[in-house]
Chain A
Amino acid sequence: MKRTFAALASAALGLSLLAGCGGSGSGSSDSIKIGVNYELSGSVATYGDASVKGIELAIEEINAAGGINGKQVELVKYDTKSEPAEATTLATKLMTQDKVLTVIGPATSGSFKATIPVANQNQVPVISGSATAEDVTVSNDKLQEYAFRTCFSDSYQGTAMANFAAENLSATSAFVIKDTSSDYAKGLADNFSQRFGDLGGTVVGEEGYVSGDTDFNAILTRIKNQDFDVIYLPGYYNEVGLIIKQARELGITQPILGGDGFDSPTLLQLAGASALNDVYYTNHYSSLDTTNQQLQAFTEAYTAKYGEEPNAFNALGYDTAKLVADAIGRSSELTGEAVKEALASTEDFEGVTGTFSIDPETHDPVKAALVIGLKDGVQDSVEKAAI
């Protein structure tokens, strides 16, 4: 019985390998294929959807303008269902079967990291517009050769917010509430606490929750009577929205600070407009950033195509796709390796999230963080955070 099973299993394996070989021969030479590997369903679908909208707009514009060196760009799009394992499988499929030149996405760090070994192995670059975790492009002091990103890292966001809290809000004490089930929130919290301490502030306490929680009244009641100037609340909009709502209902009036996980229209729906006052978060992009030349054109094109205002994920997706196209245009030949070289040598790329270069040592962009302030749920102020 066991032997029959083994035989069947190996036969099935052989068949699937054959099928794999059959699929790999396709791909026309007059178009350039770029993989899009994003969370289109599941828990963080908002991020994936938003990024893909930006990417599609960028590619549409590139194709309308004649493509890359005369070749049209073709997107091959897959859904990771917000699962890292699925992301790895799809990245492999994109690289070995669809023969794409570059894979864009996934949006979250965990899923993106899961695709990096595949990228290094197949020598096809992967690039994300929103994987902000610390060890994405450099892990254990070793550069991940084929991984890039167009967003700044968590340490940068945490540090920027600590500066903002100490200097702009004159805060001397902070309370940290973090999502302990997410590396993103932990990274932001650690860097915030460290910088805030360096600037002479004290973190009076820390609380944790896990993603999916809905009742925060108990922890909020606990911290209500403590003395602090600001709350630092790194996390994603689903829980953050509820925490802000419940905190304001309990009469906690201190400013609430956070990271780019706040950036979603869902935040406003969950928390309600009246709760979103004195709320500040670091972000990659703001429509209020009038110093940016590209922004106007992007906002108009985006609004015309989708009938809504773009958010940071749209903008980052757009920039990422434009950067990839730019690099492919500059690369000496159409191979993953050449595109990687071109990406790593990007200088002064003008994007809607700011003008930036790619640091060849870290594959991170060099750019400033923005701190957005909310008033009645609407963006009211924007400042460039100094480092």
Chain B
Amino acid sequence: MEQVLQQLINGLSLGSIYALIALGYTMVYGIIQLINFAHGDVYMVGAYVGYVCMTHLHIGFFPSLVVAMAACAVLGMVIERVAYKPLRHSTRIAVLITAIGVSLLLEYTMMYFAGAAVRSYPELPAYLTRSFHFGGVVVTSLQISIVAVSVILMVALQFIVRRTKLGKAMRAVSQDQDAARLMGISVDNTISFTFALGSALAGAAGVLVGVYYNSINPLMGILPGLKAFVAAVFGGIGLIPGALLGGYVIGAIETLVSWVGFSTFRDAVVFAVLIIVLIVKPSGILGKNVREKV
């Protein structure tokens, strides 16, 4: 029983991070049908921004989180304006390849400036490193913070998308760009805003991972990025609740696989799940089968 609870906590912390990254994937896909492969690297940049804030500027964890989110929001908008906007009317494969290019550009630019070696976050304040024992179950305040920050951000996102004008515009653009433009919605601004929002969440995930695992490097975004993509597809790409569900399920699957004793097959299992979902229900668990217009 203790083991089950402990593993549940492990899975929750991991799942929260995947969910935060997956949200960005799914929002961008929802609005311009682009799988933004550079998204995992935005998460990496977020981790480095947080690192610089905490190590060199000596500001606390929460302010660093905010700075990293802001920096990533700007980065996301710049990427969209520079790399994707000029290609908005070209084939989808062209944009997809551009996304891979942006991803490599971010990785190796960071490697050029920061070096390839692993860096670690500075010693954390005591309120973040405390651990609580419930019987044999150990919960650290860091794990609580990760889940809490993730949930707060997700609730905030839900609020923005459902209750604000910008959110309404986002939903409108994702349904029909031309009709939205006719209704007086600025499509360009709305797409920019979507990128900013998704990238900010990825930036937050980056800082959370930085403090949680205490280890960042320029290629850290590749695997979590791919897994978050799997999470988004799993839940139904383009759907915000789907990304949440997918993130937590992937986190749980990984933990479960390690727990059973196949830790080295963890990544393989995650991608096997992707294949199964694509075969059985291509639109994802929460997705509806929409017939393509011919």
* Nearest Cβ on chain A to B35's Cβ, whole angstroms: 23
CB–CB A218/B259 < 8 A: yes
Closest to A246 in B: B213
The B-contacting residues of A in range 191-216, CB under 8 angstroms, are: 207-210, 212, 214-215
Residue numbers in B under 8 Å from A249 (CB-CB): 131, 138, 140
The B-contacting residues of A in range 236-256, CB under 8 angstroms, are: 238, 241-242, 245, 249-251
Contact segment of A37-45, A164-172, A283-291? A37-45
Contacts known (A41-B116, A209-B263, A269-B120); A222 close to B258, Cβ less than 8 A? yes
Which one of A43, A45, A214 has the greatest number of beta carbons of chain B within 10 Å?
A: A214
CB–CB A225/B3 < 8 A: yes
Q: Is A217 an interface residue (CB 8 A)?
A: yes
Closest to A221 in B: B6
Contacts known (A42-B116, A225-B3); A242 close to B254, Cβ less than 8 A? no
Give complex CA distance A270, B10 in Å.
19
CB–CB A212/B223 < 8 A: yes
Q: Is A360 an interface residue (CB 8 A)?
A: no
Closest to A208 in B: B264
CB–CB A218/B255 < 8 A: yes
The A-contacting residues of B in range 241-291, CB under 8 angstroms, are: 254-259, 261, 263-264
CB–CB A218/B263 < 8 A: yes
* Nearest Cβ on chain B to A323's Cβ, whole angstroms: 28
Give complex CA distance A241, B216 in Å.
13
CB–CB A270/B120 < 8 A: yes
CB–CB B258/A218 < 8 A: yes
With beta carbons under 8 angstroms apart, the residue of B6, B117, B258 that contacts A45 is: B117
With beta carbons under 8 angstroms apart, the residue of B14, B220, B264 that contacts A209 is: B264
Closest to A177 in B: B263
CB–CB A43/B259 < 8 A: no
CB–CB B254/A251 < 8 A: no
* Nearest Cβ on chain B to A146's Cβ, whole angstroms: 30
The interface on chain B, measured as residues whose beta carbon lies within 8 A of the other chain's beta carbons, has a size of: 35
Q: Is B59 an interface residue (CB 8 A)?
A: no
Which one of A209, A219, A221, A270 has the greatest number of beta carbons of chain B within 10 Å?
A: A221
Give complex CA distance A42, B219 in Å.
11
Residue numbers in A under 8 Å from B256 (CB-CB): 218
CB–CB A251/B133 < 8 A: yes
Q: Is B209 an interface residue (CB 8 A)?
A: yes
Residue numbers in B under 8 Å from A31 (CB-CB): none
CB–CB A43/B116 < 8 A: yes
The B-contacting residues of A in range 45-77, CB under 8 angstroms, are: 45-46
CB–CB B259/A242 < 8 A: no
With beta carbons under 8 angstroms apart, the residue of A214, A218, A222, A225 that contacts B215 is: A214
CB–CB B117/A266 < 8 A: yes
Which one of B14, B131, B214 has the greatest number of beta carbons of chain A within 10 Å?
A: B214
With beta carbons under 8 angstroms apart, the residue of B215, B220, B263 that contacts A241 is: B215
CB–CB A180/B6 < 8 A: no
Give complex CA distance A335, B131 in Å.
63
Q: Chain A 261-273, CB within 8 Å of chain B: the 1/0 string?
A: 0000010011010
Residue numbers in B under 8 Å from A46 (CB-CB): 117
Q: Chain B 97-139, CB within 8 Å of chain A: the 1/0 string?
A: 0000000000000000001111110010000000101001010
* Nearest Cβ on chain B to A205's Cβ, whole angstroms: 9
CB–CB B120/A218 < 8 A: no
With beta carbons under 8 angstroms apart, the residue of A43, A212, A222, A225 that contacts B261 is: A222
* Nearest Cβ on chain B to A247's Cβ, whole angstroms: 11
Contacts known (A210-B264, A218-B10); A238 close to B116, Cβ less than 8 A? no
CB–CB B261/A207 < 8 A: yes
Q: Is B188 an interface residue (CB 8 A)?
A: no
CB–CB B10/A238 < 8 A: no
Q: Is B7 an interface residue (CB 8 A)?
A: yes
Closest to B260 in A: A222
Contacts known (A207-B263, A218-B255); A250 close to B138, Cβ less than 8 A? yes
Q: Is B178 an interface residue (CB 8 A)?
A: no
CB–CB B264/A180 < 8 A: yes
Residue numbers in A under 8 Å from B133 (CB-CB): 251
With beta carbons under 8 angstroms apart, the residue of A45, A218, A250 that contacts B116 is: A45
Give complex CA distance A1, B256 in Å.
55
Give complex CA distance A224, B257 in Å.
17
Closest to B133 in A: A251
Contacts known (A45-B117, A221-B259, A269-B120); A214 close to B3, Cβ less than 8 A? no
With beta carbons under 8 angstroms apart, the residue of B7, B220, B223, B264 that contacts A218 is: B7
CB–CB B118/A222 < 8 A: no
Q: Chain B 10-24, CB within 8 Å of chain A: the 1/0 string?
A: 110110000000000
* Nearest Cβ on chain B to A89's Cβ, whole angstroms: 19
* Nearest Cβ on chain A to B222's Cβ, whole angstroms: 9
Residue numbers in B under 8 Å from A266 (CB-CB): 117-118, 120
Give complex CA distance A224, B3 in Å.
9
Contacts known (A209-B263, A214-B209); A219 close to B120, Cβ less than 8 A? no
Can you list 28 A-B pairs with a CB-CB distance of less than 8 A? A41-B115, A41-B116, A46-B117, A180-B264, A207-B261, A207-B263, A212-B223, A214-B213, A214-B215, A214-B220, A215-B14, A215-B213, A217-B10, A217-B13, A217-B14, A219-B259, A219-B263, A221-B6, A221-B7, A224-B136, A225-B2, A241-B215, A242-B213, A242-B215, A251-B133, A266-B120, A269-B214, A270-B120
| Known pairs A218-B7, A221-B3, A238-B118 / 13 extra A-B pairs, C-beta < 8 Å | A46-B117, A208-B263, A210-B264, A214-B215, A217-B13, A218-B256, A218-B258, A224-B136, A225-B3, A249-B131, A266-B118, A266-B120, A272-B123
